[in-house]
Amino acid sequence: MSPTPVGSLFISPPVAPGVDWTHLLPILVAIPGVAILVWGLVRGRLPPAAGVAGLVLPIAAYGFGMLMVMEGSKDVRFCGSCHLMTPIVASLRATDGSSLAAIHFTRGLVPTNEACYACHSGYGIWGTFGAKKAGAMHMLHNLTGHYALPLELNGPFDIASCLGCHAGAASFRDVEAHQDPDVQQALLSHTMACTGACHPAAHPEEALTGGRAPS
């Protein structure tokens, strides 16, 4: 088997041009806030309006900084930074079709830098909130050691994340099983899942047990 080709395109894939606004906002807000506070230290007092700005701007900078951190938590590297998640992230690169996550990741069917978030976030503002809340809880469980193996989702996986992309695709609609009215109703009512029934599990079992073979 020939080795995987290596070149500049694979080493440094193209990224969207411009500056990420989540990285820029904390700086733009913090600079005038610091300037006002330094001005107050030099003068010994501040006008009321400047005093309010000196109080509000650092708080806003902190809030935007937290937003930057939360946006950064969408990155696959962030997910893999916990040792329990390392085997799961590593399994995304498997090319044997053993897991649904790997199939999507290796074929570029999800953004490779936000693959975990793309499938686990659901839809709308509450989907985003739920995913980031779950991620914060995962970090807490990892830090405190209060977790059980194999790892489980916080509740059933929302297959709307699957159907939202696939239900409108011609390749999905051409599958005879998907044309069955009973199957369609079962999927819409969430009484049938995509994984386990017709498709492989989302993640290999050994990855969910911290990289150890399941007992």
Q: Percent of the chain having pLDDT more than 70?
A: 87
| Span 94-121, average pLDDT | 90
- Record the pTM: 0.71
For the stretch 163-210, pLDDT in tens is: 888 999 999 999 999 999 999 999 988 888 888 778 898 899 888 887
Mean pLDDT of the chain: 83
What confidence category does residue 1 fall into, taking pLDDT thresholds of 50, 70 and 90?
A: very low
Nearest one of 9, 7, 69, 56 to 29, comparing CA atoms: 56
* All residues at 6 or more sequence positions from 93 whose CB lies less than 8 Å from its CB, including other chains: 102, 105, 106
Nearest one of 27, 45, 26 to 36, comparing CA atoms: 45
Checking if the pLDDT of 8 tops 70, the result is yes
pLDDT given at position 154: 56
For the stretch 54-101, pLDDT in tens is: 889 989 998 888 888 888 888 898 888 887 788 999 999 999 988 999
Token reading at 76: 């696959």
Cα–Cα distance, 151 to 207 (Å, whole number): 9
Checking if the pLDDT of 211 tops 70, the result is no
Burial class (CB in 10 A: 0-12, 13-18, 19+), 207: buried
Burial class (CB in 10 A: 0-12, 13-18, 19+), 79: buried
| CA dihedral sign of residues 144, 149, 151, 153 | negative
